[in-house]
């Protein structure tokens, strides 16, 4: 019994080191997208005219009583060495549904990291538009901050997107695929956490599942759709639509870029 105890104790550090240094090449990550509705509603709805200004305070107080503070949706990211597929997973929250405003609740993004290209299916005018374009090159600044996410040790990086949107990300180099949720990319490993503090939006991994090497990412149907547009055309079209609805707030402009 004593001999067995020493064998187990001797092997434990080896097993721990193996799991720490093990490189993951294929898997599925579940992300939780969380938006603080109490923080954004005064801007998104209060300034839109959907609710008259004199009635907004009453509307907002009732909203806080009847609805949870956070709008939470679940997405999954399936990845291999050079590509990722990001798509909804599970139920979608009803925040702002019924207003005629597309809210990125069914976004799907297929990225080819070797060619730095992506094809995405996104909401527009309550329809689905297919976008094909190059990934945005994000200039990340690495920091020394470390945080554990979904069982992985992750390092923090900061960046400005579109010259003004401050983003915080956490990545792990245990997954060499240089992707992440939505269109986030460009760090030395997989991005498992993203926060956009000023706009109260975050994406954090909650679960990881390794996939067999033989399993390939299935090509989504929208990949074969003939009618595709560029990202700038999608953004400009959405912006015109939101202006018609008086919903072209800074928050909405950021959200439709994701």
Q: What is the pLDDT of residues 94-122, one digit of tens each?
A: 655 545 555 666 789 999 999 999 999 98
User: Considering only CA atoms, which of 169, 187, 201 is closest in space to residue 73?
Assistant: 201
Task: Give domain status of residue 2, yes or no.
Answer: no
Number of domains in the chain: 1
Distance CA 170, CA 242 (A): 32
111, with CB counted inside 10 A (0-12, 13-18, 19+), is buried
19 pLDDT tier (thresholds 50, 70, 90): very low
pLDDT above 90 for 209? yes
Beta-carbon contacts of residue 112 (< 8 Å; ≥ 6 apart): 82, 83, 118
Helices (H) then strands (E): counts for the chain? 5, 11
Domain span at residue 120 reads: 24-255
- Using DSSP bridges, classify how beta strands 190-196 and 201-210 pair: parallel, antiparallel or unpaired: antiparallel
Q: What is the mean pLDDT of the chain?
A: 84
Which span out of 11-15, 16-20, 245-249 was modeled with the highest average pLDDT? Answer: 245-249
How many other C-beta atoms lie within 10 A of the C-beta of residue 126? 9
Size of the chain in residues: 258
Q: Is residue 101 situated within a structural domain?
A: yes
The domain spanning residue 166 has which CATH number?
Answer: 2.50.20
Domain membership flag for residue 107: yes
- The reply to whether 19 falls in a domain is no
pLDDT for residue 22: 65
43-55: per-residue pLDDT in tens? 888 777 788 889 9
Position 17 in a domain: no
- For residues 77 and 29, the answer to whether their CB atoms sit within 8 Å is yes
- Residue 62 belongs to a domain: yes
In a domain, 226, yes or no: yes
Across 73-98, average pLDDT: 82
């Amino acid at each position: 019994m004593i001999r067995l105890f020493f064998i187990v104790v001797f092997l434990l550090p080896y097993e721990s080191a193996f799991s720490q240094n093990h490189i993951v090449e294929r898997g599925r990550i579940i992300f939780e997208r969380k938006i603080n509705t109490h923080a954004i509603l005064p801007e998104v709805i209060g300034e839109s005219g959907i609710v008259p200004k004199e009635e907004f305070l009453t509307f907002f107080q009732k909203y806080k009583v009847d609805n949870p503070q956070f709008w939470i949706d679940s997405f999954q990211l399936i990845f291999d060495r050079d590509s990722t597929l990001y798509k909804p997973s599970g139920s979608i929250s009803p925040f702002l549904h019924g207003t005629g405003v597309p809210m990125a609740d069914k976004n799907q993004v297929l990225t080819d990291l070797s060619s730095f290209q992506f094809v995405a299916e996104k909401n527009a005018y309550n329809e689905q538009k297919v976008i094909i374009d190059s990934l945005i090159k994000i200039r990340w600044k690495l920091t020394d901050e470390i945080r554990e996410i979904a069982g992985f040790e992750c390092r923090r990086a900061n960046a400005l997107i579109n010259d003004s949107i401050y983003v915080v990300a956490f990545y792990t180099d245990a997954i060499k695929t240089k992707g992440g949720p939505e269109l986030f990319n460009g760090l030395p490993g997989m991005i498992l956490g993203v926060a956009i503090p000023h706009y109260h939006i975050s994406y954090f991994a909650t679960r990881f599942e390794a996939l067999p090497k033989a399993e390939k990412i299935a090509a989504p149907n929208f990949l074969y759709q003939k009618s595709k547009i560029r990202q700038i055309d999608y953004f400009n079209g959405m912006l015109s639509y939101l202006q018609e609805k008086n919903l072209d707030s800074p928050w909405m402009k950021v959200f439709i870029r994701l």
